[in-house]
Amino acid sequence: MTESTRVRWPAGHRAALVLSFDVDAEYGVINASGSDDWFWRSQARYDLDAGIWRLLTILGDFDVSGSFCWVGRAAEDRPDAVRAAHDGGHEIATHGWDHRHYTPMSADEQRQDLARTRETLQAITGERPIGHKTPGWRFNELTVPVLQELGFRWNMDVASADLPYLMRPDPEQPPLVQLPPSRLWDDYTYFVDATVPPRHVFEMWRDDVDVLRHEGKLMCLTFHPFVSGRPAPSRALTMLLDYVVGLGDVWIARADHVAFWWLEQQKQHTGSGR
Ligand SMILES: [Zn+2]
């Protein structure tokens, strides 16, 4: 990459970092292994009863903002937690009504699932969510067209890049900004699928930041309050924020802020982008 093609992030920042938090509560577990799985349900319920509050405190201590992607039923269970995230300056986005995967769903089923989740969140905060992450990142070919049709502006599902890009299946409608995630940027990989010491997770993500900062790119991390909101795993986030804030030239921003900034840039470069 030459200096001329390098992305120029706002205010001279060398790279961007989005912290996203998927609030599944027990609905991810119920969908994966049934409502009788009380062991995992109680593990995941930590999301709302403890984890989210610890994470909100950490973000507040560093004075940084993230994007909270809510399962609709979890929001309905604890509107106070949605309000606390919103009042803390964080973005509120959608993460499915009850964490059912979208892969087997028709366009109409996805439309209904998204609309119901968005309305529930809007009723709590007064603001209409414009971002969406599909449960388990299990989208299908209909997901982006439906999101675009419903007026969503960003999606964090398609893990095939490390810069944002525009998706515009309907050329007559405003585009959707794809903010690529990665399974290596997901706390679930290190603390649920495996058990890795938080220091090692931090080292992995620090190396990611170093490479992306050198190249001028974007890192979109995914946290779960019942995973990274636990005491020791929360240190991976704290150590990362200590490091990144200390660098002083990485833009830590909400997903909607990155998406709107990216849209603005594309408009300036191509005269389109809306
Ligand atoms: Zn989830």
Mean pLDDT by 10 residues, the chain (274 residues): 77 97 96 91 94 98 98 97 98 98 98 98 98 98 98 97 96 97 97 96 98 98 98 98 98 98 87 51
Show the DSSP H helices in 160-197 as ranges.
Answer: 187-191
Report how far ligand 1's centroid is from the alpha carbon of 25 (Å): 9
- pLDDT for residue 274: 47
Q: Cα of 23 to ligand 1 centre, how many Å?
A: 7
- Does residue 131 sit in helix, strand or coil? strand
Output the CA 129–ligand 1 centroid distance in Å.
Answer: 17
Per-residue model confidence (pLDDT) at position 2:
58
Ligand 1 geometric centre to CA of 134 (Å) = 8
Question: pLDDT value at position 267?
Answer: 84
226 to 95, 200, 211: CA distances (angstroms): 15, 19, 29
Are 71 and 117 a contacting pair, CB within 8 Å? Answer: yes
Instruction: Tell me the chain's radius of gyration from C-alpha atoms.
Output: 18
Please choose, from the candidates 160, 146, 154, the residue with its C-alpha nearest in 3D space to the C-alpha of residue 178: 154
Whole-number Å distance, alpha carbon 207 to ligand 1 midpoint, is 25
Q: Please tell me the distance between residue 100's alpha carbon and the centre of ligand 1 in angstroms.
A: 9
Distance 262 CA to ligand 1 centre (A): 25
Which amino acid, one-letter code, is at 219? M
210-229 burial, b at 16+ Cβ within 10 Å, e below that, comes to: eebbeebbbbbbbbbbbbbb
CA of 224 to the centre of ligand 1 (A): 8
If you measure from the C-alpha of residue 28 to the centroid of ligand 1, how many angstroms do you get, rounded to a whole number?
6
Q: Distance from the CA of 126 to the center of ligand 1, in angstroms? A: 23
